[in-house]
Amino acid sequence: MYLYGKNSVIERLKKNPKSIHTVYLEDKFNDNDIEKLISSNNIAIKKLPPDKLFKIKYSSNLQGIIAETDNFQYSDFEELLDEGINKNDVLIFLDRVYDPQNLGAIMRNIACFGGFSLIIPKHKACEVNETVLHIACGAENYVKVAMVSNISNAIITAKKNGLWIMGAVLSPDAKDLNTVSIPFPLGVVFGSEGEGVRYGVEKRIDIKAKIPMKGANLSYNVSMAAAIFCYEINKQKK
């Protein structure tokens, strides 16, 4: 895989430099701190003119730096479930989030909050790809992500192991998020950008919650909704 942009590469250099094979820099790249960080980890540096750099990874946001890395390593779902039970980490289940921009933003948001992990489906959803990592700006170094074959089955397993499941839904019986007394250990479900949580998944939800909106009768972007839910969850965890 290729990481690109200063923030993504810097965070990987700090947290997991062994996963980096080579760093490609534009021949006019000038950042001594980054170059020292690369050299201190004994990572090969290759300087290239812009046209050759674009052949490796074409993007308007390269910022003159690309890192060739190992493929993204998913965590084991059972491991994340154990941490949810024993460390009170919150599991976030994404039901068919297709947009890499949204997935990357969610990863970045929950990395900032801390104490969250992510569960995504193997099919009919976005995987952790290069665009996701660029938007995440290094969040993959702080957030564990598991990929499962079936989100509904994963939620059932979580419930059997004692997790409460809260879902972000717009159904008439959903309660305003700020009125819900959130139980722990906890899993939270967010649905796709256009269709929300599927009926088969919604049936597994213990607590239906929505974000109160006093303004226009629209809807929040899924990454924004996740950030609002995570803020309220962290507030109540304290």
Q: What's the CA gap between 50 and 191, in Å, rounded?
A: 40
The pLDDT tens digits for 72-120 are 999 999 999 999 999 999 999 999 999 999 999 999 999 999 999 999 9
pTM given for the model = 0.95
- Average pLDDT over all residues of the chain: 95
What value, to the nearest 5°, has the Cα angle with vertex 183 and ends 162 and 160?
15
pLDDT bracket for residue 194 (50, 70, 90):
confident
The answer regarding whether domain 2-69 maps to CATH 3.40.50.300 reads no
> Beta-carbon neighbour count of residue 103 at 10 Å?
27
Q: Where are the CATH 3.40.1280.10 domain residues in the chain?
A: 77-237
Q: Any idea which residue has 């050759």 for tokens?
A: 52
Q: What's the CA gap between 165 and 208, in Å, rounded?
A: 9
Q: Any idea which residue has 């996701």 for tokens?
A: 132
Q: Which amino acid is at 25?
A: L
Measured between alpha carbons, how far is residue 235 from residues 49, 71, 135, 143, 179 in Å?
49, 35, 26, 19, 13
Q: Which two tokens stand for residue 138?
A: 């290094």
The pLDDT tens digits for 117-148 are 999 999 999 999 999 999 999 999 999 999 99
Q: Where are the CATH 3.30.1330.30 domain residues in the chain?
A: 2-69
Question: What is the CATH code of the structural domain delimited by 77-237?
Answer: 3.40.1280.10
- Sign of the four-CA dihedral 212, 216, 222, 226: negative
Q: Which amino acid is at 34?
A: I
- What letters, b where the CB count within 10 A reaches 16 and e where it falls short, cover 63-78? bbbbbbbeebebbebe
